[in-house]
């Protein structure tokens, strides 16, 4: 089974900050990597697919990068609406999620 490890688990930031969340796969997954945003009491929402492709309707301040085993999600200028938990997911061999990164207000 492919394991996904995110860091950090919690990130404290202010509006306007540039934030980056890392995700590492236990084996090569090429670019079969997605990022999701989840707010309390709501379902996850797809942000990025194939490691760097922005889902339709997602603001351009979100971007993804990486290939193989190391990936990153970057929010270029954090907005109030972005405080949430973010999950990476591999879909190369079935599906596995990272443990999540909570982005909270500093």
Partner 1 sequence: QVQLVESGGSVVQPGRSLRLSCAASGVTFNRYGMYWVRQAPGKGLEWVAVISFDGSNRHYPDSVKGRFTISRDNSKNTLYLQMDSLRPEDTAVYYCAKSSSSSGYHSRFDRWGQGTLVSVSS
List of residues contacting partner 1 (CB under 8 A): 32, 34, 36, 42-46, 49, 55, 87, 89, 91-92, 94-100
How far apart CA 74 and CA 7 sit, in angstroms, is 13
Q: Which is nearer to partner 1, 5 or 77 (CB)?
A: 5
DSSP code for 55: P
Q: How far is the CB of 85 from partner 1 (least distance, A)?
A: 9
Q: Report, in angstroms and rounded to the nearest whole number, the Rg of the chain calculated over CA atoms.
A: 13
Q: Which is nearer to partner 1, 71 or 87 (CB)?
A: 87
Q: Which is nearer to partner 1, 50 or 81 (CB)?
A: 50
Give Cβ neighbours of residue 43 (< 8 Å, ≥ 6 apart).
Answer: none
């Amino acid at each position: 089974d492919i394991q996904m490890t995110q860091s950090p688990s919690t990130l404290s930031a202010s509006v306007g900050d540039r934030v980056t969340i890392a995700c590492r796969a236990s084996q090569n997954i090429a670019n079969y990597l997605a990022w999701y945003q989840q707010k309390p009491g709501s379902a996850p929402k797809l942000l990025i697919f194939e490691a760097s492709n922005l889902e339709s309707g997602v603001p351009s301040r979100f971007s993804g990068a990486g290939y193989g085993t190391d990936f990153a999600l970057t929010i270029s200028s954090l907005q109030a609406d972005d405080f949430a938990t973010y999950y990476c997911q591999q879909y190369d061999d079935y599906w596995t999620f990272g443990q999540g990164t909570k982005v909270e207000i500093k």
